[in-house]
């Protein structure tokens, strides 16, 4: 048996689930913190065919586009209410010199993308193209600056170029390049993975250099930057400690990033995205659940120095990392996406929701054609992945208030290990509707969850389910609708108690309202 917030891992699993009543108690009359819409954010890097081919096809392309941005991808992203987009990396960000990507396209400098496949980057997608994409998506920009190989001046000028309305060499340059008005840039990252690809820095060195860079990240013309310092990877609490403990850092950043990838099999022996066993399925979710322990650990450090929670955790890279599809460039990180990835997304979102008091943003790695993408493209074709559908189903949690829940559920057991078979969270939106998101990780067992709703009375329920006959079901260009949401009727509501029959390996999102 597993109690929410105290998941049991690597123990001699209780072999008996018999007698466990799966129950999710929902306290409806005491809504908690707002679940930031930004927790449903995205990440786009100059990597493989994420930008080129996936987003940007250029104005001359025969693929229908708006200012060079493919329409099918644009419309699909609007549908999931994408709240923000991080760009240009990733590791690429600390090699990116923004002036290479402005001005007439034919005159832009070509560079080698040294991190990702050694391909030539012609910089045809630069600041103006990205900001146009942001405008078309009606979402917030999250720009990641170059600390690893850039200069303070370069970073400061980029912010001035984008956001200042005053007269200056940078703003004149922007106007010469066709943009009269400054843009709004909400989020700005002070480097990426500076403990690794972003300069291999020690935490002390980064802490010092971060202050230097941050000092010159100015707020121009009413734009207010939410500055995000490079945070830790995984369980590296020492990095967080170093950044948080320095009193001078207090005013230098508002958010601290955190990266965690689930890599079943390990870096040297990664899983295939589609050809996997039930052991791999289980191990993936066991690793996904680690996100909860990781957040708790970093929160505990932050709480000591920032009990008022003025600084947010920004999980700007998360997701499953599998072996690339056979025959594709290993540097392009192109992987298929199955029902397993959909459940991964549901587990993460439920965790992020429950940490709404500190987690202010999360960005799936990555948006199109890279790692756990929501969209795959091939020439003029586009396919929505199972992960996409989870983003669409869970969008109801964006900016809703977290409801306290108490989950008691049976274990999903594999060998000597056990993880909670059910993942769940609930929120109340601005008009008082409740949304409950549940996932049943067990691939072969229906689980009925009883949900007493305390404090409010609802009389109307509706829902959607995402499942498929096989664990490794996926959407392909030839068969794009194998995994797609369907209307869900497997619930009963009687005397304030909701009962939900969760099909094996499924995700269900329910809406409760008063009629």
Window 33 to 52, contacts with ligand AHR (CB under 6 A):
45
Would you say 155 or 230 has its CB closer to ligand AHR? 230
Closest approach of Cβ 314 to ligand AHR, in Å? 13
- Nearest residue (CB) to ligand AHR, 291 versus 441: 291
Asked if residue 90 binds ligand AHR (CB under 6 A), the reply is yes
Is residue 511 part of the annotated active site? The answer reads no
Q: Exactly one of 160, 236, 317, 410 binds ligand AHR (CB under 6 A); which one? A: 317
Q: Is the peptide bond before 462 cis (omega within 30 degrees of 0)?
A: no
Give the interface segment with ligand AHR, choosing from 34-42, 89-97, 135-143, 161-169 (CB under 6 A): 89-97
Contact region for ligand AHR (CB under 6 A) — 85-93, 159-167, 285-293, 504-512?
A: 85-93
Query: Does 423 engage in binding with ligand AHR (CB under 6 A)?
Result: no
Among candidates 156, 148, 139, 155, which has minimal Cα distance to 90? Answer: 148
Question: For ligand AHR, how many residues bind (rule: CB under 6 A)?
Answer: 10
- Between 301 and 371, whose beta carbon lies closer to ligand AHR? 371
87 vs 491 by CB, closer to ligand AHR: 87
Instruction: Name the nearest CA neighbour of 426 among 447, 456, 448.
Output: 456
Contact 450, 410 (CB under 8 A): no
The catalytically annotated residue of 157, 193, 283, 410 is 193
Query: String of b and e for 209-221 (b: at least 16 CB within 10 Å)?
Result: bbbebbeebeebe
Selected binder of ligand AHR within 4, 35, 77, 91 (CB under 6 A): 91
Return all residues near 106 (Cβ < 8 A) that are at least 6 apart.
Answer: none
Site for ligand AHR in 164-203 (CB under 6 A): 192-193
The verdict on 316 binding ligand AHR (CB under 6 A) reads no
| Shortest Cβ 328–ligand AHR spacing (Å) | 15
Please write down the HEC assignment for all residues of 182-246.
CCCCCEEEECCCCCCCCCCCCHHHHHHHHHHHHHCCCCCCCCCCEEEEEEEECCCHHHHHHHHHC
- H or E element that contains 414: strand 411-414
Pairing verdict, β 187-190 and 140-144: parallel
Nearer to ligand AHR, 50 or 507 (CB): 50
Query: Using the rule CB under 6 A, is 284 a contact of ligand AHR?
Result: no
CB-based closest residue to ligand AHR: 90
Under a CB-based contact definition with an 8 Å cutoff, are residues 4 and 350 in contact?
no
Is 238 catalytic? The answer is no
Q: Could you tell me the smallest distance in angstroms from the CB atom of residue 120 to ligand AHR?
A: 18
Secondary element (H or E) of residue 292: helix 278-305
Query: Helix axis angle, 339-354 relative to 278-305, nearest 10°?
Result: 20
Per-residue 3-state assignment (H helix, E strand, C coil) for 336-371: CCEHHHHHHHHHHHHHHHHCCCCEEEEEEECCECCC
Q: Which of these is catalytic: 121, 129, 160, 317?
A: 317
Q: Which stretch binds ligand AHR (CB under 6 A): 353-361, 364-372, 390-398, 411-419?
A: 364-372
Report the C-alpha gap between 43 and 458 in whole angstroms. Answer: 37
Which residues pair with residue 26 across a beta bridge?
Answer: 405, 453
Q: Which of 313, 291, 149 lies closest to 231, judged by CA?
A: 313
Min dist CB 192 to ligand AHR, Å, is 5
The CB-of-45 to ligand AHR minimum distance in angstroms stands at 5
- How far is the CA of 356 from the CAs of 227, 233, 362, 487, 512, in angstroms? 19, 20, 11, 28, 21
Closer to ligand AHR by Cβ: residue 292 or 317: 317
Q: Which is nearer to ligand AHR, 45 or 140 (CB)?
A: 45
* Minimum gap (Å) between residue 501 Cβ and ligand AHR: 37
* Peptide bond connecting 90 to the previous residue in cis, omega within 30 degrees of 0: yes
User: Nearer to ligand AHR by C-beta: 320 or 442?
Assistant: 320
Q: How far apart, in whole angstroms, are the C-alpha atoms of residue 205 and residue 223?
A: 29
Binding mask 320-359 for ligand AHR (x = CB under 6 A): ----------------------------------------
Among 54, 68, 89, 126, binds ligand AHR (CB under 6 A): 89
Using CB under 6 A as the binding rule, whether residue 365 contacts ligand AHR is answered as yes
Nearest to 20 by CA among 448, 504, 442, 410: 410
Residue of 366, 405, 437, 506 interacting with ligand AHR (CB under 6 A): 366
Query: Interface with ligand AHR by CB under 6 A: which range of 83-91, 105-113, 247-255, 461-469?
Result: 83-91
Which residues, 6+ apart, have CB-to-CB distance to 471 below 8 Å?
276, 278, 281, 338, 339, 340, 443, 505
Note the residues at the interface with ligand AHR (CB under 6 A): 45, 89-91, 192-193, 317, 365-366, 371
Positions marked catalytic? 193, 317
């Amino acid at each position: 048996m597993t109690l929410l917030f105290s998941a049991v891992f690597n123990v001699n699993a209780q072999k008996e689930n018999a007698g466990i009543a799966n129950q999710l108690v929902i306290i409806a009359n005491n809504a908690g913190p707002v679940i930031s819409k930004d927790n449903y954010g995205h990440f786009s890097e100059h990597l493989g065919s994420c930008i080129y081919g996936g987003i940007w096809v250029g104005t001359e392309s025969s693929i229908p586009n708006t200012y060079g941005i493919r329409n099918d991808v644009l419309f699909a992203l609007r549908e999931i209410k994408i709240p923000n987009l991080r760009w240009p990396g990733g590791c690429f960000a600390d090699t990116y010199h923004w002036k290479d990507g402005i001005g007439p396209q034919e005159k832009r400098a070509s560079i080698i993308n040294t991190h990702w496949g050694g391909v030539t980057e012609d910089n045809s997608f630069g600041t103006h193209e990205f900001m146009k994409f942001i405008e078309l998506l009606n979402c917030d920009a999250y720009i990641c600056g170059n600390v690893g190989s850039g200069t303070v001046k370069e970073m400061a000028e980029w912010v001035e170029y984008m956001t200042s309305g005053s007269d200056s060499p940078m703003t004149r340059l922007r106007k010469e390049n066709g943009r009269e008005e400054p843009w709004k840039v909400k989020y700005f990252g002070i480097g990426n993975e500076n403990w690794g690809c972003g300069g291999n820095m020690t935490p002390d060195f980064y802490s010092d250099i971060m202050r230097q860079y941050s000092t010159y990240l100015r707020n121009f013309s009413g734009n207010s930057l939410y500055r995000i310092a490079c945070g830790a990877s995984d369980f590296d609490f020492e990095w967080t400690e170093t950044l948080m403990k320095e009193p001078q850092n207090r005013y230098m950043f508002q958010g601290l990033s955190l990266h965690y990838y689930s890599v079943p099999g390990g870096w040297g022996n990664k899983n295939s995205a589609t050809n996997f066993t039930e052991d791999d399925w289980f191990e993936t979710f066991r690793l996904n659940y680690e996100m909860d322990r990781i957040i708790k650990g970093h929160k505990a450090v932050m709480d000591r120095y920032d009990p008022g929670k003025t600084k947010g955790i920004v999980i700007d890279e998360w997701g499953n990392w599998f072996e690339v599809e056979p025959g594709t460039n290993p540097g392009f990180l192109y992987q298929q996406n199955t029902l397993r990835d959909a459940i991964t997304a549901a587990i993460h979102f439920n965790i992020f929701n429950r940490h709404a008091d500190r987690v202010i943003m999360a960005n799936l790695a990555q948006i199109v054609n890279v790692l756990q993408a929501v969209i795959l493209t091939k020439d003029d074709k586009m396919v929505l992945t199972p992960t996409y559908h989870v983003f669409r189903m869970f969008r109801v949690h964006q900016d809703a208030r977290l409801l306290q829940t108490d989950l008691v559920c049976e274990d999903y057991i594999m060998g000597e290990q056990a993880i909670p078979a059910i993942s769940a969270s609930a929120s109340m939106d601005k008009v008082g509707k409740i949304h409950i998101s549940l996932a049943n990780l067990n691939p072969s067992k229906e689980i009925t969850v009883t949900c007493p709703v305390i404090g409010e009375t609802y009389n109307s329920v509706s829902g959607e389910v995402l499942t498929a006959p096989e664990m490794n079901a996926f959407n392909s260009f030839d068969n794009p609708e194998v995994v797609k949401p369907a209307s869900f009727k497997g619930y009963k509501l009687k005397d304030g108690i909701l009962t939900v029959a969760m099909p094996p390996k499924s995700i269900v999102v329910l809406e409760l309202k008063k009629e």
